[in-house]
A and B are shown apart, each in its own frame.
Chain A
Amino acid sequence: NAGVTQTPKFRVLKTGQSMTLLCAQDMNHEYMYWYRQDPGMGLRLIHYSVGEGTTAKGEVPDGYNVSRLKKQNFLLGLESAAPSQTSVYFCASTGVGEKLFFGSGTQLSVL
């Protein structure tokens, strides 16, 4: 099992550019999450999904959109990137009564 796979691992954007981060899990998990990690702020929940076709806002959703068209995939989009979105992004998934399984992270820099 690959677990949770995030692509890409690194990306540099210019202000105003758009991009999509892909998260894929092969554990048949219902629940998937996108977090951003910034120094001194821990992991903050951006958006999450409790099943295929559903999404919900987390703690810091502004500037991001998500989609869960297939159960195994959870996409995070930045429509118009800003320097404040420079961060490390982690995807995670879980099932009922399980721990969170994390991807290896995406380091995003917005210049």
Chain B
Amino acid sequence: AQSVTQPDIHITVSEGASLELRCNYSYGATPYLFWYVQSPGQGLQLLLKYFSGDTLVQGIKGFEAEFKRSQSSFNLRKPSVHWSDAAEYFCAVGAPSGTYKYIFGTGTRLKVLA
């Protein structure tokens, strides 16, 4: 069955520190993988996506993510967090054929300390 797990509900980091948000998925083949960010009261903004090819994906706002097939993971990273990065982050898994279902994780809320 297709599923997504974001193990960390809340993460707090200091401004300027590095960040890694975890995402694990379950799917029978290589899925489409996404990270979205949502600020309070706002819609979802796509940070980056992986469809195929290079397993290290660069996104907007200085974010990157690495697809690791052996670990069924797609963790999001940023080398130096800015206060404006405080938001909720969602990992999503899409089925590239067949059902074309897109499933989201429960989200990780990031707090940034000044």
Contact = CB atoms under 8 A, between A and B. Distances in A.
A70 to B, nearest CB: 19
A64 B105 CA distance: 21
B87 interface: no
Contacts of B106: 40-42
B104 A99 contact: no
B103 A59 contact: yes
B63 interface: no
Interface in B63-101: 90, 92, 94, 99-101
Contacts, number: 52
B9 interface: yes
Nearest to A42: B106
* Tier of interface size on chain A: 20 to 34
Given A40-B9, A42-B107, A43-B90, A100 B102 contact: yes
Contacts of B43: 90, 102-105
A89 interface: no
Contacts of B99: 50, 56
Interface of A: 30-31, 33, 35, 40-45, 48, 50, 56, 58-59, 90, 92, 94, 97, 99-100, 102-105
